[in-house]
Each structure stands twice: as structure tokens, then as C-alpha cells.
Amino acid sequence: MMIIMSGMIGAGKSQLTKILSEHLGTEPFYEPVEDNPILPLFYADPDRYAFLLQIYFLNKRFASIKKAMAHDNNVLDRSIYEDSLFFHMNAEMGRATSQEVDVYDSLLDNMMEELPYAAHKKAPDLLIHIDVDYDTVIKHIKMRGRDYEQVDHDPKLKEYYENLIAHYEPWFKDYDASEKMVINGNRYDFVNNMDDRRCVLNAIDDKLLELGKISKEEYTSLQEKISQL
């Protein structure tokens, strides 16, 4: 079983990946951020580094999902299925040339065609999308404290974040690579509030049971774990 997360920058994907992987007893796979040499450059000069950053992420996400698909059970905090959303939005903002868009689209198409053969699995089993608004995003970004992500550090990021949030609704609606569900990240603070965490884990367990990804016995065992939180 492979579960992938999606959601805005600061939505809480990495935290929920950790929580869910511990709950299910599976392996977590995280997007490379702290050791990403391109990301700070992009925030400093997005017009120059948008294409380079996306190629870097595309390469890392392809490698990550191949590795994850080769294992029996895992959770990814972001996946290759979300990749084009970021690059095409940046292209709309004038941060990529038409030639760069053509190169990126061709490369992504080739990777997606090869993925089932390289990973021996056709698609993820479930996408969990964390839906958040701008205020929640800014709250989470301030809490994790990366200077280059702060709107106070660069006021132009406000437009970037709002634009990205707006792009997620049509992206999620059109996503059809696997079954999917939504977690309301504005309502549920699954990181700091244990009642909220229980609600979110219950919802995910219910979905996995509905999809036949876990047995009734496994579901009962997972519910017992939740009751002990």
C-alpha cells in the first residue's frame, strides 16, 4: 500500500506523513528541503531559478516514488503527481520560457510513462490532500522559521502563496491517478491537538477500510491504537 500526500507549502504534509506512517507501521518518504541547494536561490531570484528548481524536484520525486513503489508499505509527503502544478504556475507568472515549459513537459511525460515499469506498481493507492487557507499557511510557515519562506522577509511571497492555493482546487478536482480524500487543515490541528489527530486518523482508517486496503481485523487494531493516543 502506498499513500501520497498533497497540499500547499506549510499545509502540514511532512507532519501528517510522520504521524500516519507511525500509526500504520509503514516507512515515511520525505521531500528533500533542508539539504536542497536550489530552494534558497529560487526564493531569492525566482525568475532565474524556477526551471532549475523544478528539474531538481522532478528528479528527486521520481527517484523517491520509484523507491517507495518498490516497498510494500509507505507514505510520501509529496509526489511527482503534484509536480507540474508548481512549474506551470511559475510559467504563468513569467518565470519560465516556452522552451523550458516544453522541455519540462516532455521530461515529465517520459518519466510518467516509465514509472510503472521502473517501480513495478501502476499508481498510488490513496492521495490524502490537506486543504488549508492563506492564514493557516502563514501560521505554519512562521512556526517552522525558514527565513526565505517568510512574507515578512519578502512581501512578494504573499501573491505567490495565494496564487498557489488557488491552483490547488482545480488540480485536486482533476487528479485521477488514484483514490483520494481531503483533510481540512484549517479545522484539524493534527500536530498539536490529540483530539484532532484522532479524528484525522479515524477518517483515514475509515477510507482505507472502505477501499479494501486494510482488513476489518487491521482496522480494529488501528482503532485500538488511536484510543491509546
Half-sphere exposure (CA, 13 Å, Cβ side) for 82? 27
pTM score of the predicted model: 0.92
One-letter amino acid of 36: N
The tens digit of pLDDT for each residue in 212-221 reads 999 999 999 9
Lowest-confidence segment of 28-37, 103-112, 138-147 by average pLDDT: 28-37
- Average pLDDT score over residue span 2-9: 95
Lowest-confidence segment of 47-51, 73-77, 145-149 by average pLDDT: 145-149
What proportion of the chain, given as a percentage, has pLDDT over 70?
A: 99
pLDDT above 90 (res 34)? no
pLDDT above 90 (res 74)? yes
Q: What is the mean pLDDT of the chain?
A: 93
Q: Give the pLDDT confidence score for residue 129 in this predicted structure.
A: 98
- Average pLDDT score over residue span 36-49: 92
pLDDT above 90 (res 32)? no
Identify the active-site residue in 77, 152, 174, 196: 77
* Residue of 38, 35, 39, 29 lying closest to 9 (CA atoms): 39
Asked if 151 and 158 count as a contact pair (C-beta separation under 8 A), the reply is: yes
Q: At what angle do helices 13-24 and 216-227 cross, to 10 degrees?
A: 120
pLDDT above 90 (res 153)? no
Binding annotation for substrate: 31, 43, 54, 78, 83, 149
Asked if 112 and 176 count as a contact pair (C-beta separation under 8 A), the reply is: no
pLDDT above 70 (res 45)? yes
Q: What is the band of 72 on the pLDDT scale with cuts at 50, 70, 90?
A: confident
- Average pLDDT score over residue span 48-68: 91
Lowest-confidence segment of 70-74, 161-165, 178-182 by average pLDDT: 70-74
Q: What is the band of 35 on the pLDDT scale with cuts at 50, 70, 90?
A: confident
Alpha-carbon gap, residue 28 to 15, rounded angstroms = 10
Q: Could you confirm whether 135 is annotated as catalytic?
A: no
Pairing of strands 126-131, 74-76: unpaired
The tens digit of pLDDT for each residue in 84-122 reads 999 999 999 999 999 999 999 999 999 998 887 766 677
All domains in the chain, ordered by first residue: 2-227 (3.40.50.300)
Q: Give the pLDDT confidence score for residue 71 in this predicted structure.
A: 77
pLDDT above 90 (res 28)? yes
